[in-house]
Structure 1
Amino acid sequence: MRVSDLIRKKGSSVVTLPPTATVADLLEALDEHRIGAVVVVDEGGAVTGIASERDVVHHLRGGSGTHSPVTELMTAEVHTCTAGDDLVQLATVMTERRLRHLPVVEDGRLQGIVSIGDVVKARLDALEAERDMLEDYLRR
């Protein structure tokens, strides 16, 4: 299964913020959408960073406030994937690098986002389908 298959099933909507957003804006977006990360994009739609719940905790624990710009806490070196990437390989990369969210980028433009939960669910669904086919085959 490829990232494109997953995006087709789950949808391509991504919650984003501009680099001018504040940590308070980030907290509001995370809570409102019940998500774990927000992609920071510039005016042209290019990914400039990603900000997660972990980033917020680290930021606030360090004594910084919610009026700080999101650029102070976001991860600027964003690991991304493409629509053609294989989900099994993606799971390995996400596990090894301890990444919970990967923006899907094609031609420099944000196309979606994949979470480790999405990858695990897709893999479990594939295994369940394979099991069902094998059980059906054995019943014949």
Structure 2
Amino acid sequence: MRISDVLRRKGDDVVTIRSDASVAELLDLLADRGIGAVVVSDADGTVDGIVSERDVVRHLRGSTEPLPAVPVGTIMTTEVATCRLDDDLETLARTMTERRVRHLPVVADGRLVGIVSIGDVVKQRLGELQDERDSLVDYVQGGG
């Protein structure tokens, strides 16, 4: 299964935020959209960083300044792991596990085209397991 297949099923909508937006704006966006991470993009289609709930927590732990006024660019992760449309799901899952990240932006020709979460990976894998189960049940009930 390729990342392009995952995006075809889930859609390619990606929520982004500018690096100069405040953390208060970020928190509103995360809560309103029910998501855990946002791609930081100062120009249409670029991946300048990614900011997650985890980044907010890390900043809270070590900061004395009022967090809501802090720019997103201050707390975002700048070394962003990305994937390509032709990457396979197993490689993506391995990257997420090794890098300890739950969201990977999908990039094609240097432009942001989607995002895949660990939830997308699990959902896809569960679907594959169900298909395998159904095939085995059909085989057994069909007498071989």
The bucket for the TM-score relative to the shorter chain is over 0.9
Aligned runs of 1:30-41 on 2, under 5 Å? 30-41=30-41
Paired letter, 2:87: D
Question: Which entry has the higher C-alpha Rg, 1 or 2?
Answer: 2
**Please, which runs of 5 or more residues in structure 1 have no aligned partner?**
none
Report the TM-score when normalising by structure 1.
0.96
CA displacement 1:28-79 (0-9 Å, x = unmatched): 1100001000000122421000000010111122223211110000001100
Paired with 1:36 and 1:44, the residues of 2 have a C-alpha distance of: 21
Deviates more, 1:56-65 or 1:5-14: 56-65
Structure 1 runs, 4 residues or longer, greater than 3 Å off: none
Segments of structure 2 that go 5 or more residues without pairing to the other structure are none
Q: Percent identity?
A: 60
Q: Match for residue 23 of structure 1?
A: 23
Counterpart of 2:113 in 1: which secondary structure? strand
Q: Measure the CA separation in 1 of the matches of 2:94 and 2:130.
A: 20
CA distance in 2, matches of 1:117, 1:53: 16
Match of 2:135 in 1: 133
The separation in 2 between residues aligned to 1:137 and 1:102, in whole angstroms, is 37
